[in-house]
């Protein structure tokens, strides 16, 4: 069945813009009341809604985080989109197509959530295709083999789930609600990735080799998806105080590794970390040092595909400009025609009344 | 059929359900297999083309819409191919990945490159009108599996037809550029309409239905199948042409465009004759599967 996603903004109110740009020091009486109410909402772990007063920095943090998240979903379509035409079975092709278009839907939900904070989608999209906006660095890695469809699902969507499940309780209502919808689909994404790897590991020697080689490439970058270690992540503390973030980067990374180890065992795949060992005392899996220089290098634009990813989206957008223009022109003409018809009807009505 | 019949006379069918029934002994006759193979190839090749739009659409909503349509059509392909394969002990993947160009039975409209968005819409409009009448008729096939596949497909095609009709109007009546592109898209796809509505060779002549996919073992059943064997089972596309002529030219005029007056390609897709764009598309689709023959994924 077709389910076209028309994500609509839950609300488009631009809450007190003036107040939001004001430093907390020179608050008006209204702002003081708003701030008190905001703090109360956060304190009681309730949801902040678009029409509620909120500090400018809270709004800014959310817009940045939600739009970057949205951009990641959109750019994230590409590494897997790369294999749709070559998927090795029709069933896998169908699952992959469904997965990649789920990600487009996620992008739409998130852009809608960001719009409720007063930043419109065109602006966000413009930032994406000009390279001004950031998105998750993981999507700047290439997908040279089919096994990468398995690794992305298992590791990248898996990491996304660890990150996103707590976001379902984020203090900003529209964001939390978008995450609830998204998380439902992400668990399907992770499962299909796991199944791809499982089929490969149970397949021919060449297939098993392909799977292991791919996991070797994706494991560390996936662990780095949670962001730098806590002591190098200055913004995290504020986000946690605002109940946007619930767990620190390192806590989430640990959760992820603890989840992966038993799954890797089922797969028969070796996680490429010689230091991985079980800590009886804490009950957690200890893992080795990550190469953060690579992380920062990819972040700076020196990944495998940074420019290619942005260029591809920009090309699609620019090639489609005439289509969007046509749709707008058609809608305008339809609206004008409807207005003329309504006017004529009113005139006719008046004639009758006059007669 | 003047009144659109939407009520499915039988249950709906998915590739997985058909697979289960095949394990339970369901098998198509050779001629039904040949017929289903043609329909499956049409859908498979169109779905493969639509897949090229994902992450390339003019807006995110269209990435999703074209992806959805492609996914529905891929589902139809999988059902038809799974059922077709039951005639020769082959799976949908044997048929999709391990036949070469002349063994494919798709009509040439579906093979054409995606072109720009207008060309894709032009093809999708023609295809949706065709599928709409085809599956509504096939719902009443004496073959219950074909009828069930068609019953599921017809509901989905309803939406596809609406999608391409809306875009035909938007592009035709939008801007000068979009009208020009939409006209060119129609002009480019029109030469393939006649082939789309030409006879089914497998119905026409049992001899023509002997394709290389048929294994030696099935040769005997081919001999038993006379040309009447698909009567009441297959739909003759020639009988559907009137519906196309009643609907499409009117829509084109409503969109402020001109019904193309192009010639028609010689066609022959159902006999394994394909256009130039098909080989490269097939090579891409099959490359990985063929690197690992016998592997499962
Ligand atoms: Fe996603
Ligand atoms: Fe995902």
Is A57 touching B (CB cutoff 8 A)? no
What's the confidence (pLDDT) of residue B203?
Answer: 86
Tokens of A235: 């913004």
What's the confidence (pLDDT) of residue B214?
Answer: 44
Yes or no: say if A299 and A137 are a contact pair by the CB < 8 Å rule.
yes
Is A122 touching B (CB cutoff 8 A)? no
Q: What is the dihedral of CA A20, A26, A30, A33, to 10 degrees?
A: 90
Q: Is the pLDDT of residue A224 over 70?
A: yes
Q: Which residue of B has its CA nearest to A201?
A: B297
A94 vs B contacts (CB less than 8 Å): 71, 74-75, 78
Q: Is the pLDDT of residue A90 over 60?
A: yes
Tens of pLDDT, residues A8-52: 333 333 344 334 444 556 778 889 999 999 999 999 999 999 999
d(CA B31, ligand 1 centre) in Å: 45
Tens of pLDDT, residues A106-122: 999 999 999 999 999 99
Residue B223 lies inside a defined structural domain of this protein: no
Residues B165-179, mean pLDDT to the nearest whole number: 98
What's the confidence (pLDDT) of residue B211?
Answer: 39
Total number of domains constituting chain B: 1
All residues at 6 or more sequence positions from B159 whose CB lies less than 8 Å from its CB, including other chains:
A2, B69, B72
Residue B155 lies inside a defined structural domain of this protein: yes
Yes or no: say if A179 and A170 are a contact pair by the CB < 8 Å rule.
yes
Residues A224-230, mean pLDDT to the nearest whole number: 95
Query: How much is the mean pLDDT over chain A?
Result: 91
What's the confidence (pLDDT) of residue A355?
Answer: 60
Residue B139 lies inside a defined structural domain of this protein: yes
Q: Is the pLDDT of residue B100 over 70?
A: yes
Is B51 touching A (CB cutoff 8 A)? yes
Residue B219 lies inside a defined structural domain of this protein: no
Tens of pLDDT, residues B186-223: 999 999 999 999 999 998 764 344 433 344 445 444 44
What's the confidence (pLDDT) of residue A168?
Answer: 95
What's the confidence (pLDDT) of residue A354?
Answer: 66
Domain holding B105, by residue range, is 15-213+230-291
> What percentage of chain A reaches a pLDDT higher than 70?
92
Query: How much is the mean pLDDT over chain B?
Result: 90
d(CA A102, ligand 1 centre) in Å: 7
Specify the residue for token string 């890797």: A264
Residues B3-14, mean pLDDT to the nearest whole number: 48
SS3 per-residue string spanning A171-237: CEHHHHHHHHHHHHHHHHHHHHHHHHHHHHHCCCHHHHHHHHHHHHHHHHHHHHHHCCCHHHCCCHH
How many of the other CB atoms lie within 10 Å of CB of B221? 17
d(C-alpha A177, C-alpha A168), whole Å: 6
Facing B174 at nearest CB: one of A89, A313, A327: A327
Residue B93 lies inside a defined structural domain of this protein: yes
Q: Which residue of A has its CA nearest to B72?
A: A1
Residues A159-172, mean pLDDT to the nearest whole number: 95
CATH of the domain at B120: 1.20.1260.10
What's the confidence (pLDDT) of residue B3?
Answer: 32
d(CA B58, ligand 1 centre) in Å: 20
pTM of the entire structure?
0.90
């Amino acid at each position: 069945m077709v389910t076209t996603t028309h994500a609509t903004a839950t609300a488009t109110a631009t809450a007190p813009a003036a107040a939001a740009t004001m430093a907390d020091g020179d608050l008006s009486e209204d702002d003081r009341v708003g701030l008190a109410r905001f703090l109360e909402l956060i304190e009681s772990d309730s949801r902040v809604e678009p029409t509620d007063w909120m500090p400018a920095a809270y709004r800014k943090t959310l817009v940045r985080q939600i739009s970057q998240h949205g951009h990641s979903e959109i750019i994230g379509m590409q590494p897997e989109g790369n294999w749709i035409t070559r998927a090795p079975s029709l069933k896998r092709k169908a699952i992959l197509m469904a997965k990649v278009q789920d990600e487009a839907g996620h992008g739409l939900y998130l852009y809608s959530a960001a719009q409720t904070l007063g930043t419109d989608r065109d602006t966000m999209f413009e930032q994406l295709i000009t390279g001004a906006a950031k998105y998750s660095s993981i999507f700047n890695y290439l997908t040279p083999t089919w096994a990468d469809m398995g690794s992305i699902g298992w590791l990248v969507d898996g990491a996304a789930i660890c990150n996103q499940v707590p976001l379902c309780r984020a203090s900003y209502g529209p964001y939390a609600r978008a995450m609830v919808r998204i998380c439902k689909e992400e668990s399907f994404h992770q499962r299909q990735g796991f199944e791809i790897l499982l089929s490969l590991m149970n397949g021919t020697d060449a297939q098993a080799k392909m799977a292991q080689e791919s996991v070797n490439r994706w494991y560390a970058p996936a662990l780095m998806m949670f962001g730098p270690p806590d002591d190098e992540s200055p913004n995290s503390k504020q986000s946690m105080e605002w109940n946007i973030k619930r767990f620190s980067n390192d806590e989430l990374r640990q959760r992820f590794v603890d989840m992966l180890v038993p799954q890797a065992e089922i797969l028969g795949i070796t996680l490429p970390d010689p230091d991985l060992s079980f800590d009886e005392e804490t009950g957690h899996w200890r893992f080795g040092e990550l190469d953060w220089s690579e992380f920062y290098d990819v972040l700076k634009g020196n990944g495998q595909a940074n420019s290619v990813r942005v260029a591809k989206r920009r090309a699609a957008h620019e090639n489609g400009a005439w289509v969007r223009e046509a749709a707008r022109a058609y809608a305008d003409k339809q609206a004008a025609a409807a207005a003329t018809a309504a006017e004529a009807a009113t005139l006719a009505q008046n004639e009758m009344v006059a007669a | 059929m003047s009144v659109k019949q939407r009520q499915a006379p039988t249950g709906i069918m998915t590739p997985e359900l058909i697979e289960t029934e095949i394990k339970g002994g369901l098998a198509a006759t050779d001629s039904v297999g040949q017929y289903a193979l043609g329909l499956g190839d049409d859908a498979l090749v169109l779905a493969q083309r639509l897949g090229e739009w994902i992450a390339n659409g003019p807006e995110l909503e269209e990435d999703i819409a074209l992806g959805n349509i492609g996914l529905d059509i891929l589902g139809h392909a999988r059902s038809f191919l799974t059922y077709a394969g039951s005639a020769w002990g082959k799976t949908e993947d044997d048929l999709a990945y391990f036949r070469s160009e002349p063994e494919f039975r798709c009509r040439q409209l579906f093979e054409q490159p995606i072109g720009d968005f207008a060309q894709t819409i032009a093809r999708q409009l023609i295809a949706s009108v065709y599928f709409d009448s085809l599956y509504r008729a096939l719902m009443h096939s004496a073959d219950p599996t074909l009828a069930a596949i068609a019953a599921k497909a017809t509901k989905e095609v309803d939406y596809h037809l609406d999608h391409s009709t809306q875009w035909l109007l938007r592009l035709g009546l939008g801007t000068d550029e979009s009208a020009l592109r939409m006209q060119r898209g129609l002009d480019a796809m029109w030469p393939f309409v006649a082939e789309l509505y030409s006879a089914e060779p497998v119905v026409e002549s049992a001899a023509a239905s002997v394709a290389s996919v048929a294994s030696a073992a099935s040769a005997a059943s081919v001999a038993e199948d006379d040309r009447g064997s698909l009567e009441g089972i297959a739909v003759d596309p020639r009988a559907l042409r009137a519906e196309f002529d009643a609907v499409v030219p009117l829509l084109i005029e409503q969109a402020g465009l001109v019904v193309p007056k192009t010639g028609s390609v010689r066609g022959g897709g159902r006999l394994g004759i394909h256009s130039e764009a098909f080989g490269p598309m097939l090579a891409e689709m099959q490359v990985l599967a063929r690197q690992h023959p016998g592997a499962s994924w």
